[in-house]
Amino acid sequence: MTDSVSDWHRLAGTSVLLDGFHAVKHAVRFGADIPVAVSVDRAAALALADELAPDVREALAGLLVEVPQDTYRALVPRPHPTAVAALAVRPAREANLRALARTPRTAPVIVLDQPRNLGNAGAVIRLAAGFGATGVVTTGTLDPWHPTVVRGGAGLHFATAVERLTVDELPPGPVFALDPEGEDIRGLKLPDDAVLAFGSERTGLSAELRERTDHLVSLPMRPQVSSYNLATSVGMTLFHWSAS
Ligand X SMILES: C[S@@+](CC[C@H](N)C(=O)[O-])C[C@H]1O[C@@H](n2cnc3c(N)ncnc32)[C@H](O)[C@@H]1O
**Residue 59 contacts residue 45 (beta carbons within 8 Å):** no
Residue 204 near ligand X by CB under 6 A: yes
Among 36, 121, 179, 194, binds ligand X (CB under 6 A): 179
CA 237 to centroid of chain Cα atoms: 16
Residue 178 near ligand X by CB under 6 A: yes
Residue 221 near ligand X by CB under 6 A: yes
Among 201, 206, 208, 215, binds ligand X (CB under 6 A): 201
Nearer to ligand X, 152 or 180 (CB): 180
Residue 227 near ligand X by CB under 6 A: yes
**Near ligand X by CB under 6 A, which window of 45-53, 88-96, 157-165, 219-227?**
219-227
Residue 198 near ligand X by CB under 6 A: yes
Residue 230 near ligand X by CB under 6 A: yes
**Residue 161 contacts residue 96 (beta carbons within 8 Å):** yes
Residue 205 near ligand X by CB under 6 A: yes
- C-alpha 194/C-alpha 190 separation (Å) is 7
**Residue 228 contacts residue 118 (beta carbons within 8 Å):** no
Query: Strand ranges (DSSP E) for the chain?
Result: 16-19, 36-39, 64-66, 84-88, 109-113, 135-139, 161-164, 175-184, 195-198, 215-218
Among 71, 148, 206, 218, binds ligand X (CB under 6 A): 218
**Residue 153 contacts residue 145 (beta carbons within 8 Å):** no
**Residue 24 contacts residue 37 (beta carbons within 8 Å):** yes
Nearer to ligand X, 82 or 233 (CB): 233
**Near ligand X by CB under 6 A, which window of 49-57, 76-84, 167-175, 199-207?**
199-207
**Near ligand X by CB under 6 A, which window of 49-57, 80-88, 172-180, 206-214?**
172-180
**Which residue from 78, 89, 87 is spatially nearest to 5, judged by alpha carbons?**
87
Nearer to ligand X, 14 or 141 (CB): 141
First-to-last alpha carbon distance for the chain, in angstroms, is 52
Residue 233 near ligand X by CB under 6 A: yes
Q: Where does this chain bind ligand X (CB under 6 A)?
A: 178-180, 198-199, 201, 203-205, 218-219, 221, 227-230, 233
